[in-house]
Amino acid sequence: MNEKKLISRLSKYIGSDYLFLTPSGTDAIIKSLRILNLPSEAGVIVPSFCCRALVDAVTKSGLKPVFCDVSFNNYNISVADMEKVLTEKTAVVIVVHLFGQPAPIDEIIDYARRKSIFVIEDAAQAFGGVYNNGDKLGTLGDIGIFSFGYEKIIDAGGGGAILTNKHDFAVELKKEVTGYKDKKEWMERLDFLMDSIEDNLSTRRENALLYKKHLNTDFVIHPEYSDGVGTFFRYSCVLNHNCRPKLLMGLKEDGELVTALYSQPLHANHDNHDGNFQNTDFLAQRVINMFVRSPYTDEYIIKITDKIKRILEKIHA
């Protein structure tokens, strides 16, 4: 596998000046934080409703995670959420495009620049997604990261990437990735899967819209996603009543798998916060996630949404 050709291919597709391959998305975050040369205990704003690997990367970098609530409508952070937790030690915000859908990154970048805060875009679940101005997710902040691990938009079995349009950051990142050799297997798979990336994204978008169409019940609150942008890691929505354990058990007994990602908010495991996490706590108890990748078919989606509606109706009868 020619690594330089793959990097060139990815950079051209994403629209970034510089791109570097890493062992994982988590490693990409660690390396990104390292090249910023921040003082020990500098604050890094992270959404409390997301993958635990994010906060692990921050703490492994010797920095302090500052937990932030998220929007009820699209599960991502906003400027209003950031303002509530900003301190004089805040140096970075990691903006997660959760489940593949864009956070309001342009507003966040404007705010961060006024406060002299670095912006890292975590697009681990959003490869190929775009923002409403047409730019690919991951290219708008100071640094962006991707993951090609299990169940990501491209599941290459491992690997990640860091991208930036800033030359000085690229110089430092090149030093960080030098010597990493264990790439061949997932690089080959990544290159192969890039051939079908647009079909992959189209299937995910079409399947997500089918879930939204057929899961037409008052027991479910659908997110305010923009259908033409972003992508779909999974289709996620919120139960109107706190009955998720019963629903998941009913589906499991029927041989169906629906997940409940991030049911343990990150702030719940840490004492270093004093904020209100009303939306995060609500979402953590009620979000359900449904698979949208191929080979999940129209017939399957209609079948499982009918099952979900029947189980919910039985629970609330």
Q: Residues 217-230: pLDDT tens digits?
A: 999 999 998 666 88
Using DSSP, state whether 170 is helix, strand or coil: helix
Q: Are 133 and 238 in contact (CB under 8 A)?
A: no
The CATH code of the domain at 197-315 is 3.90.1150.10
Which pLDDT score is estimated for 166? 97
Domain residue extents for the chain: 3-194, 197-315
Closest CA to 296 of 232, 224, 238: 232
> How many Å apart are CA 208 and CA 204, to the nearest integer?
6
Q: What is the pLDDT of residue 228?
A: 66
pLDDT reading at 275 higher than 90 = no
Residue 274: the pLDDT is 62
Burial 125-164 (b: 16+ CB within 10 A, else e): bbbbbbbeeeebbbbbbbbbbbbbbeebbbbbebbbbbbb
The CATH code belonging to domain 3-194 is 3.40.640.10
Q: Which residue has the tokens 């890094």?
A: 44
Q: Residue 128 above 60 pLDDT?
A: yes
What sign has the CA pseudo-torsion 1, 53, 264, 129? negative
Query: What pLDDT, on the 0 to 100 scale, is given for residue 272?
Result: 56
Q: Percentage of residues in the chain with pLDDT exceeding 90? A: 88
Equal fold, 3-194 vs 197-315: no
Look up tokens 């406060």; give the residue: 115
Distance between CA atoms of residues 188 and 133, nearest Å: 32
